[in-house]
Amino acid sequence: MSRSPKGGGKVRSILSVSDLSARDLAGILDRTKTLKQVMKRRDGPSDLKGLTVGLFFEKPSTRTRTSFEVATVRLGGYPLYMDAAELQTSRGEPTKDTARILGDYLDMIVGRVYAHETLEALAEFSGVPVVNALSDLEHPTQIISDLFTISETKGKLKGLNLAYVGDGDNVCNSLLLGASMVGMNVVAACPSGYAPNEGVLRRAEENARRSGSTVRVVDDPKEAAVDSDVVYTDVWVSMGEEKERSRRMLAFRGFQVNSELMKLASKDAIVMHCLPAHRGLEITDDVIEGKKSVVWRQAENKLYGAAASLGFVKG
């Protein structure tokens, strides 16, 4: 039996970008801008005062963990990091049983997990808001900070051309959904067999029809890069896919973001990578360190996107 919301009322979670309306997303991006201004002055609002935010992490993390912990503290809350390997779930306890108890102890849960179904169980049985900090299907909070970074750099979102080059992974899935929702034209260049999730792609195409943009998936990075305003890439081998490394190295040959590919993009195009980066594989050192790279600003903005996401689900 699923659990009633803690404290009554309706619980807002962000498990997918699709959990947000276009208006919700715009509001979160506006809030991200405001929070960056005040948090850089160490003058954060008390959005989470008195609240405990549990970080349920099955996967290692540098930026995501740190950004959510710091965001919680700066907003007046208390972060509690929970390594799933040290919880009873690692010994076979069903996620729904753990979720029921965590819902009694915590006010929010941030989950970084292998299977998206784990997040769904946490949301269904805890009765508290759950934020997806990465699953095998999506990474919505990454895309919130990414869209903010693009807007901050370019001054707009609608009408821009975004090229994603690489694996049709969780980041690509959320990027398709978020970019199409705000009116960006998106082309994802992925090798055969590594395309984005079909259900996600259909939802992104629906978003594009509403926003007046376009969504395409191709198998040629050069085709995607032509006249692009944003070139985005991610690792070829994500956590949990290490056994596929040899096969992926062959499949992704030619899908590198390098100086030759960037010549096809707009003169003022920017380069993005959600990190960690494997230099010499999906991106070259000269490009990630070059003048077009906004990777370090993108990483910094994860802090403010995390804060805005937590504030949104709190309501």
For the stretch 201-224, pLDDT in tens is 999 999 999 999 999 999 999 999
Side-chain-side CA neighbours of residue 92 (13 Å)? 0
Same domain (yes/no): 157, 287: yes
How many domains does one find in the chain? 2
For the stretch 116-125, pLDDT in tens is 999 999 999 9
The reply to whether 3 falls in a domain is no
Domain extent, residue 245, equals 142-299
- State the pLDDT confidence band at 75, using cuts at 50, 70 and 90: very high
Report the CATH number at residue 119. Answer: 3.40.50.1370
Residues with Cβ < 8 Å from 290, sequence gap 6 or more? 259, 271
The reply to whether 6 falls in a domain is no
The burial class, CB within 10 Å (0-12 / 13-18 / 19+), for 310 is buried
The reply to whether 108 falls in a domain is yes
Same domain (yes/no): 103, 131: yes
pLDDT at 242: 85
**Predicted TM-score of the model (pTM):** 0.95
Q: If DSSP codes are grouped into helix, strand and coil, which group holds residue 88?
A: helix
- 170: tokens are 């969780």
The reply to whether 95 falls in a domain is yes
Same domain (yes/no): 22, 131: yes
Same domain (yes/no): 134, 242: no
The reply to whether 11 falls in a domain is no
Q: What percent of the chain stands above pLDDT 90?
A: 91
Same domain (yes/no): 130, 27: yes
pLDDT exceeds cutoff 70 at 4: no
Same domain (yes/no): 165, 131: no
E runs forming strands in the chain: 52-57, 78-83, 108-112, 130-132, 161-165, 185-189, 215-218, 230-233, 270-273
Same domain (yes/no): 104, 32: yes
Q: How far apart are CA 219 and CA 196, in angstroms?
A: 12
The reply to whether 7 falls in a domain is no
Residues with Cβ < 8 Å from 268, sequence gap 6 or more? 229
